Every structure is written in C-alpha cells, then in structure tokens.
Amino acid sequence: MRSVILLLTLLAAPSLAQQAPRDGDVLLSKDELTALVSGKMLEFFTGGFARHGTDGGYDYRYAIDGAPAPGRYEVRDDSTICITFHNGFDRCDLLVKSGERYVMVIKNGDRYPVKAITSLE
C-alpha cells in the first residue's frame, strides 16, 4: 500500500510543479502573444534578454556573461511560448499580463516580470 501511495505522489508531482496563473493574471491568445513577441526583444529585471525573431528564431542572452542560448520558439494557444534550444533542451513558459506588466512564469512557478519590450528592427 505504501508503494502505491508513493507512486501516486510521484506521478502527481510534475503537475503540481507546473506554472499556473495567479488571480488577476490575464492569459493571452495566440494572436496577442505572437504580436507581443514576434520581432521583439524582452528585457527582464534579472538583466537577461530574450530575442524572438519574426522567423521563429530565438536567442536568450544571460545577464552575467552575455552568453547566448539560441534556439527556435513557437507560440501556442494557451498563453505559452515553447522553445527548443540548439543544445537539445526545451521548455515552455507561460507569459501573462499581470496588472500593467507582462510576466514570464516558468515551469517551477517562478515569475519573471518583463522590464521592457523593444523592436528588433
């Protein structure tokens, strides 16, 4: 019996770790999210930058050393942006409107407010 409970707990754990919007967060449609990020650079208060090309190209620059993390992104219907990095790693992040600010919510629930959105052109 104990092993069954442990197994059920382990199976439920990934869903508990998924990002979820908070009360007051507004989810974006695929069209709204595409218009927001395509051809734009999102700057975060952490000092990092996420560049979203109009062709689906993606590049994240770390604040510490400016090292690039290139890949491809796809906007989905559920207010998420999914990225497949060239190194084989992939992830999906939730992007919501929270008050007057946009916020990126990652899988473990950490929230990263967007400081600025600028055009790449």
CB count in 10 Å sphere of residue 57? 12
What pLDDT was estimated at residue 19? Answer: 67
d(CA 42, CA 35): 13
Give pTM, 2 decimals: 0.80
What pLDDT was estimated at residue 22? Answer: 86
What pLDDT was estimated at residue 6? Answer: 31
Domains and CATH numbers, the chain: 2-119 (2.40.128)
How confident is the prediction along the chain (121 residues), in pLDDT tens digits per residue?
443 333 333 334 343 345 678 889 999 999 999 999 999 999 999 999 999 999 999 999 988 888 899 999 999 999 999 999 999 999 999 999 999 999 999 999 999 999 999 999 7
